[in-house]
Amino acid sequence: MAKTSSKSSPGDREDLGRLGAFIRSQRRLAELSQRELAKLTDLSDPYVSQLERGLHEPSVRVLKSLARALDVQAETLLSYVGIGGDTSGSAPGVAEAINADPDLTDAQKAALLEVYRSFLS
């Protein structure tokens, strides 16, 4: 009898790939190396690398730790793996929208975030 797993469906791999790309983008915007992010989150360097490549589905604890280190809302990361992240029509925050825009370069995202945050202070 063939054993099937819902964790290995192509959609899940795509979601993990998008999560990994988002984590990598946020890490670069924060000007952190993988090693620095690993230290901030109490994770190993190889595990952070594997997360960024979409090879592992992180636990809620890991996602919350990454969110704190990257200064993003935990719900944003949780939504990539289908946990939490109420999507009942609530608009994402400005910073999350800027960071999620695939048409912006990391430098453009950083510049927009800097301008946006200057208006808040």
Backbone angles phi, psi at 119, to 5 degrees: -70, -25
pTM higher than 0.85 for the full model? no
Helices 34-41 + 45-52 axis angle, to 10: 110
Cα separation, 39 vs 44, in Å, equals 8
Please give the pLDDT value at position 94: 78
Would you say 20 and 53 are in contact if contact means Cβ atoms under 8 Å apart? yes
End-to-end CA distance of the chain: 61
Please, what is the Cα angle at 97 between 76 and 104, to 5 degrees? 120
Alpha carbons 94 and 41: distance in angstroms, whole number: 24
User: What tens digit of pLDDT does each residue of 16-52 get?
Assistant: 888 898 899 899 989 999 999 999 999 999 999 999 9
What is the tens place of the pLDDT at every residue in 69-92?
998 888 888 887 777 644 443 445
Domain 10-120 has CATH 1.20.210.10: no
In terms of phi and psi (left: phi > 0; alpha: psi -120 to 50; beta: otherwise), the region of 116 is: alpha
